[in-house]
Chain A
Amino acid sequence: MNTMNPTVTSEADMPEETIVPVQEERPAETVIEEGKTVGHPFSDDPKFKLRNVEVFYGQDRAIKNISLDIGRNEVIAFIGPSGCGKSTFLRCLNRMNDSIDICRVKGQLAIDDHDIYDPKRDVVELRARVGMVFQKPNPFPKSIYDNVAYGPRIHGLANRKSDLDEIVENSLRKAGLWDEAKDRLDAIATGMSGGQQQRLCIARAIAVSPEVILMDEPCSALDPIATAKVEELIAEMSESYTIVIVTHSMQQAARVSHRTAYFHLGHLVEVNETNKVFTSPEHELTESYITGRFG
Chain B
Amino acid sequence: MQTANLLPLVLVLAVVAYGLAYMRSRAVAAPLGGIRNLKALPFYYAARAALWCAIPALLVLAAWAGFEGKVIQGIVIASLPQDVWPESPGQASLILSQISNVAAGKLNPEFVPEHIAGAASVLEAMENKSGNFKAALVLLVAVSGAAFAWTRVSPHINARVNVETTLRRIFFVCAALAVLTTAGIVFSVIIETVRFFGRVPISDFLFSTSWSPQTALRADQVGSEGAFGVIPLFTGTLLISAIALLVAVPVGLLSAIYLSEYASKRVRSTAKPVLEMLAGIPTVVYGFFAALTVAPFIRDLAEAVGLEASSQSALAAGLVMGIMIVPFVSSLSDDVINAVPQSMRDGSLALGATQSETMKKVIFPAALPGIIGGILLAASRAIGETMIVVMAAGLAANLTANPLESVTTVTVQVATLLVGDQEFDSAKTLSAFALGMLLFLVTLLLNVIALKIVRKYREQYD
Q: Contact residues of A with B, CB < 8 Å?
A: 94, 96, 99, 101, 123-128, 131-132, 134, 136, 138-142, 150-151, 154-155, 190, 201, 204-205, 208
Contact = CB atoms under 8 A, between A and B. Distances in A.
A190 B460 CA distance: 8
B366 A127 contact: no
Nearest to B264: A101
A99 B349 contact: yes
A155 B352 CA distance: 8
Interface residues of B, number: 22
B365 interface: yes
A154 B347 contact: no
B216 interface: no
7 contacts: A123-B352, A140-B348, A141-B461, A151-B352, A154-B353, A155-B352, A190-B461
A154 B361 contact: yes
Contact of B349 (A101, A127, A141): A127
A132 B352 contact: no
B58 to A, nearest CB: 54
A166 to B, nearest CB: 18
A102 B350 CA distance: 19
Contacts of B264: 101
A21 B217 CA distance: 101
A141 B367 CA distance: 11
A125 B354 CA distance: 10
Interface of B: 264-265, 341, 343-354, 357, 361-362, 365-366, 460-461
Contacts of A150: 348, 351, 353, 361
A205 B357 CA distance: 17
A131 B344 contact: no
Contacts, number: 68
Contacts of A154: 351-353, 357, 361
- Chain B's interface: helix, strand, loop or mixed, by majority? helix
Nearest to A153: B361
Given A127-B351, A134-B346, A141-B460, 20 more contacts: A96-B349, A99-B349, A101-B264, A124-B354, A126-B352, A127-B349, A127-B352, A131-B350, A131-B351, A132-B350, A134-B347, A138-B343, A140-B348, A140-B362, A141-B366, A142-B365, A150-B348, A151-B352, A201-B347, A205-B351
B258 to A, nearest CB: 16
B350 A127 contact: yes
A259 to B, nearest CB: 23
A174 to B, nearest CB: 16
B63 to A, nearest CB: 57
B352 A124 contact: yes
B381 to A, nearest CB: 29
A23 to B, nearest CB: 37
A127 B341 CA distance: 20
Contacts of B351: 127-128, 131, 150-151, 154, 204-205, 208
A124 B351 CA distance: 8
B345 to A, nearest CB: 7
A190 B461 CA distance: 8
Given A127-B349, A128-B352, A154-B351, A138 B344 contact: yes
Contacts of B352: 123-128, 151, 154-155, 208
Which of A132, A140, A150, A205: most chain B Cβ within 10 A? A140
A154 B344 CA distance: 16
Listed residue (B264, B352, B354) with the most chain A CB atoms within 10 angstroms of its CB: B352
Contacts of A190: 460-461
Contacts of A124: 352-354
A101 B265 contact: yes
Q: Which 7 A-B pairs have the closest CB atoms?
A: A138-B343, A128-B352, A132-B350, A127-B352, A151-B351, A138-B347, A124-B352
Contacts of B461: 141, 190
A140 B341 contact: no
A138 B346 contact: yes
